[in-house]
Amino acid sequence: MPSPRYWREIPSRYRLEATRCGDCGRVSYPPRRICPECRSTDGETIELSHEGRVLTYTVVHVPPDDFLMEAPYALAVVETPEGARMMVQVADCDPASVEAGMMVALEFRLIRREGKGGILCYGYKAVPAYPMGGEAEAELRSKESEVAHA
Amino acid sequence: MREVAIVAAGMTHFGELWGASLRDLFVEAAQGALTAAGTDHLDAIYVGNMSAGQFVGQEHLGPLMADHLGMAGVPSVRVESACASGGVALRTAFLEVASGASDLVLAAGVEKMNDGADVTAILATASDQETEVYHGATFPGLYALIARAHMAAHGTTEEDLAWVSVKNHRHGALNERAQFQRELTTDQVLSSALVSEPLRLLHCSPVSDGAAAVLVCPLDQASKYTDHPVVIRGTAMATASLALTDRRDMAFLDSVAASGARAYEMAGIGPEQVDVAEVHDCFSIAEICCIEALGFAPLGEGRHCARTGETALGGRIPVNTSGGLKSKGHPVGATGIAQAVELFEQLTGASGDRQVHGAEFGLAQNMGGTGASSVVHIFQAV
Ligand SMILES: [Zn+2]
């Protein structure tokens, strides 16, 4: 990715900025000029919470060249409390432990080294919302599944 | 609008064709169609191609291909809608003939994927660069997310997915142009290498080279070229968001349903009247989503169809008699035209061991990206 483009995308990537539609309330991430739901142009810029829930996920075993050193890695669609959805990697845990419904925190991380120049590209990754393993996790997980089934 | 018919078809073998260049492939398929029609004249050419610029560093395919076909001077343009480029090239040719602007138009598709490029990265450019690819999404990865969503919503299993590959390889084993002319077992699929969970290598269409071409003209001029024309009764395209995260329901392909509904309306038929279909099984989950969106199976029931044989040769609605993208191969820009070639042959009784006897209506569905674009054609034997 050429660096002007990288700089242009920084507000949404670094600050998790999104657009909330003033007419229908839909939250779009990254920001949009026109609401995809109702075509309203009356949107306000909001900053998303740094947390969310995994909606669906996969573990990528065959990556593009830029991510060769990362594989296998978990890739998930995460929904924030504001209703914004984003695709992020889930880090700091065994990829096999990622599951739908899991609570995550969004943390600012290095995402990739871009192309031959090795430009460092930053953004957000999800991490488990609680330390993995032990009784604390088991307790939190059982509470979560109660909520999920409620 | 004038009624439009396909009067001839040509196609290369699909596979890893290291000895053939992009232009070689196009010329072989296009010349096959011209020879079958007995003509050396064209009013226009549409070349469906996803990404020759990235795969082999060649853009400006319209004039290049016209020149190498010995047709320099003829208007010729490349049409791009990712993996739906071929289907959209056919639709564009249809519109040009139906409008009365041209009488004989070549709709072709070509892709040369085996030439040393980073295929995973190139294919991923059909999805959203800023929100998906940036974070490490691959094409199989995105379809894996769709598969997981479908599993959660409808109880689809890894074995259901495997049956789609098994069924399509059974068909492809009968197709001499297919990349893989051999059968598979569910055990082989379920023990193949993981690509992006839950999708394994044998859930994925291969990396292929190939080209396909059809000639279209007004129905009332078809007898100049053939005794067995096939009429294009319906053509429709629809779009959806590139990014999966912007979809209403990740397990349902809105663009496929919308393009199907519009094509059925134009043709004046419903899914129950379709005798044979080619759908875009780039990954096994895609065939399940597509047959549900096109009305060949109720929502949530598509997962059973390959196992029960409903979508196999001899079944209620044979799907992907060519072997589909999985077994026949998926040179992305050529796929939409190759689907039309298979149905042209089915509807003219030329499919040999794969023939669906008495087939009158055929449907082709071709999509780009993770279903951000979808194009459907309905053909009728006359
Ligand atoms: Zn709105």
**Domain segments of chain A as ranges:** 3-130
Least confident of A61-70, A78-87, B127-136: A61-70
Q: Is there a contact between B251 and B289 (Cβ–Cβ < 8 Å)? A: yes
Q: How far apart are CA B205 and CA B355, in angstroms?
A: 23
Six-digit token string for B104 = 């004989």
Rounded to the nearest angstrom, the gap between the alpha carbon of residue B119 and the centroid of all alpha carbons in its chain is 19
**List B13, B83, B282, B377, catalytic entry:** B83
What pLDDT sits at residue A4?
74
Residue B203 annotated among the catalytic residues of the structure: no
Query: Between chains, do B145 and A111 touch, taking CB under 8 Å as contact?
Result: no
Chain B interface, best mutation among A28, A38, A58, A97, by max B CB count within 10 A: A58
CB B236 within 8 A of CB B263: yes
Question: Between these two residues, A118 and B165, which has the higher pLDDT value?
Answer: B165
Tell me if residue B83 is catalytic: yes
Q: Are A103 and A129 in contact (CB under 8 A)?
A: yes
Beta-carbon pairs below 8 A across chains A and B:
100
CB B327 within 8 A of CB B80: no
Contact A85 B246 (CB under 8 A): yes
Of B124, B148, B195, the CB nearest to A64: B124
Nearest to B136 among A28, A56, A75 (CB): A75
Q: Which helix (H) or strand (E) holds A43?
A: strand A43-47
B-chain residues near A67 (CB < 8 A): 136
Residue B134: name the closest of B121, B143, B151 by CA: B121
Closest to B131 (Cβ–Cβ): which among A56, A62, A87? A87
Distance A22 CA to ligand 1 centre (A): 7
B interface mutation test: which of A10, A57, A75 has the most B CBs within 10 A?
Answer: A75
Sequence ranges of the domains in chain B: 4-118+208-224, 127-202+230-381
Peptide bond before A81: cis, by omega within 30 degrees of 0?
no
Say how many Å lie between the CA of residue A82 and the centre of ligand 1.
Answer: 14
- Tell me which CATH code domain B127-202+230-381 carries: 3.40.47.10
Provide the β-strand partners of residue A34: none
pLDDT per residue as tens digits for the range B107-161: 999 999 999 898 999 999 999 999 999 999 999 999 999 999 999 999 999 999 9
Cβ–Cβ of B120/A87 closer than 8 Å?
Answer: no
Residue A19 has pLDDT above 90, yes or no: yes
3-state secondary structure chain B: CCCEEEEEEEECCCECCCCCCHHHHHHHHHHHHHHHHCCCCCCEEEEECCCHHHHCCCCCHHHHHHHHCCCCCCCEEEECECECHHHHHHHHHHHHHHCCCCCCEEEEEEEECCCCCCHHHHHHCCCCCCCCHHHCCCHHHHHHHHHHHHHHHHCCCHHHHHHHHHHHHHHHCCCCCCCCCCCCCHHHHHCCCEEECCEEHHHECCCCEEEEEEEEEEHHHHHHCCCCCEEEEEEEEEECCCCHHHCCCCCCCHHHHHHHHHHHHHHCCCHHHCCEEECCCCEHHHHHHHHHHCCCCCCCCHHHHHHHCCCCCCCCCCECCCCHHHHHCCCHHHHHHHHHHHHHHHHCCCCHHHCCCCCCEEEEEEEECCCCEEEEEEEEEC
Q: How confident is the model at residue A9, as a pLDDT?
A: 78
Partner residue opposite B138 with nearest CB, options A9, A28, A60: A60
Choose the catalytic residue: B171, B203, B330, B377.
B330
* CB distance A46 to A19 below 8 Å: yes
Superfamily of domain B4-118+208-224: Thiolase/Chalcone synthase (3.40.47.10)
Domain formed by A3-130, architecture: Beta Barrel (2.40)
pLDDT at A150: 43
CB B126 within 8 A of CB B369: yes
A43 C-alpha vs ligand 1 centroid, how far in Å? 8
Q: Is the ipTM of this complex over 0.90?
A: yes
Contact A9 B245 (CB under 8 A): no
Distance CA B111, CA B81 (A): 13
Q: Do A62 and B140 touch (CB under 8 A)?
A: yes
- Given a cut of 60, whether residue A102 has pLDDT beyond it is yes
Structural Rg of chain B based on CA atoms: 19
Interval B323-359: pLDDT, tens: 999 999 999 999 999 999 999 999 999 999 999 999 9
Query: Which residues partner with B276 through β-bridges?
Result: B362
Best of B196, B200, B242 to mutate (most A CBs within 10 Å, chain A): B196
Separation in Å, CA of A71 to nearest CA in chain B: 10
What's the rounded Cα separation, in Å, for the pair B176 and B12? 10
For residue B247, report the distance from its CA to the centre of ligand 1, in Å.
15
Low-confidence stretches of chain B (pLDDT beneath 70): none
Residues of A with a Cβ under 8 Å from any B Cβ are: 1, 9, 28-30, 36, 55-67, 70, 72-73, 75, 77, 85-89, 100, 111-112, 121, 123
CA distance, residue B156 to nearest chain A CA (Å): 14
Q: What is the Cα gyration radius of chain A?
A: 17
Measure in Å the smallest separation between the Cα of A138 and chain B Cα atoms.
Answer: 23
Q: How distant is the Cα of B194 from the closest Cα of chain A, in angstroms?
A: 6
For B210, the token pair is: 């190939």
Cα dihedral B337→B27→B178→B48 (10° resolution) = -30
How many angstroms separate the alpha carbon of residue A29 from the centre of ligand 1?
13
